[in-house]
Chain A
């Protein structure tokens, strides 16, 4: 019940494409869904987060879509750039405390020039 399933494991797109990373969860008590971005040799950094009272949140070129009934949420990167090449982790928790964050296994994104 605590799992967050993330797909795909890796993704390659051309510059300007719109990569989509999907996550699914089981625990209906989850109410905080952040995405973290990790560049090689660096620690993860918060990219964007959503709560289940909205179905979409946009910050710059990054958009989270949230489907509460399906218990799924996804990250879309508009007009992707080579600089977006990184590993993306979705996560979920009940409350936003870091000790309760359950992370997905990550998606390695490569954006070709």
Chain B
């Protein structure tokens, strides 16, 4: 158990809808990362927050947004969903902004029909 909690584990929704994925980092970790894993694809970095502030942005679509709250949990919001957004979304945390080891949650599997 990595200590990172993600909810929901599975989510099925329709195109055009909006969903929110939630992540609670390991106790004491200030940095949260979001990654997308599609079929036959590696892990694509989406966005990073550190202690409530956005620190880095990767290949995140404009339809997607995220935030980190004062209690350090984070939410990833996906809107105007398309079929191609179906993927596993992972949250990871680390102690500092630049840390060698990421601790991943078990992921949220999103299926867009």
Binding site for B on A (CB under 8 A): 4, 6, 9, 32, 34, 36, 41-46, 49, 89, 91, 95-101, 103-106
Residues of A within 8 A of B90 (CB): 43-44
Residues of B within 8 A of A45 (CB): 2, 103-104
Residues of A within 8 A of B48 (CB): 98-99
Q: Mark B72-113, 1 if CB is under 8 A from A, else 0.
A: 000000000000000000101010011111111111000000
B42-A98 in contact (CB<8A)? no
B105-A105 in contact (CB<8A)? no
B106-A32 in contact (CB<8A)? no
Count A-B contacts at CB 8 Å.
67
User: When the two chains form the complex, which single residue of B33, B41, B44, B101 contacts A46, counting CB atoms closer than 8 Å?
Assistant: B101
In the complex formed, the residue of B with least CB distance to A42 is B106
B100-A99 in contact (CB<8A)? no
Binding site for A on B (CB under 8 A): 2, 4, 31, 33, 40-45, 48, 55-56, 58, 90, 92, 94, 97-107
A98-B43 in contact (CB<8A)? no
* Most chain A CB atoms below 10 A, which of B48, B55, B100: B100
Bound state CA distance, A10 and B94, in angstroms? 30
B42-A105 in contact (CB<8A)? yes
Task: Looking at the assembled complex, report how far the CB atom of B98 sits from the nearest CB atom of chain A, in whole angstroms.
Answer: 4
Bound state CA distance, A96 and B97, in angstroms? 10
> A98 with B31: in contact, given A32-B100, A43-B4, A105-B40 (CB under 8 Å)?
yes
B98-A103 in contact (CB<8A)? no
A99-B45 in contact (CB<8A)? yes
Residues of B within 8 A of A49 (CB): 100-101
B102-A98 in contact (CB<8A)? yes
Residues of A within 8 A of B98 (CB): 95-97
In the complex formed, the residue of A with least CB distance to B1 is A42
